[in-house]
Amino acid sequence: MEKINYPYIPAGREIKFVPLENSFMREAKDFAKKYSLDKTMPNAVVIVKENEIISRGANGSDYHNHHECERVKQNVPSGEGYELCEGCHPKNHGEQQAIRDAVDNKKETTGADVYLWGHWWCCESCWNAMMKAGIRDVYLLEGSEIFFNKNHSDNVVGRQFE
């Protein structure tokens, strides 16, 4: 497999891949379709421990329905400046929503895995939150570095559910 040049990945961590037929990835996709509020890059996370889904989270807020995105106005590159915009803030990312869901429901995340549908990498804030929560591995969809990369000519951005 060709090395993927992620915008961010912590030292000592790696991303693993599963096909869409993986039941946890299918659940993440279905959850994104139903609950993500980000219409451009809908994503969702399921957190799995001992082969059981313990929490779910989808990205987005309705902020962009009523306000301009500061990151877009300032032409901030992908993966940077999330704190500049309430709608883009990391608290609204699927990874952090799923961690909050687990905490709210008193589910232990130490040693659990994340299945993320709809993105091809995790931002620094989300990695930090996942590591603090004791998340073991992060799984993405095989080919996600193409499918969900806005800069790749063969992406499916805007057609994720077709």
pLDDT digits 0-9 by tens, 1-39: 578 999 999 999 999 999 999 999 999 999 999 999 988
Contact 87, 61 (CB under 8 A): yes
pLDDT in tens, 114-152: 999 999 999 999 999 999 999 999 999 999 999 999 999
pLDDT of 1: 58
Q: Write out pLDDT tens, residues 61-96.
A: 888 889 988 888 999 987 788 889 888 888 999 999
Rounded to the nearest angstrom, the gap between the alpha carbon of residue 1 and the centroid of all alpha carbons in its chain is 22
Rounded distance, CA 89 to CA 10, Å? 20
Dihedral, CA atoms, 149, 102, 162, 9, nearest 10 degrees? 10
26: phi > 0 → left, psi -120 to 50 → alpha, else beta; which?
alpha
Torsion of CA 133, 126, 144, 84, to 10 degrees: 170
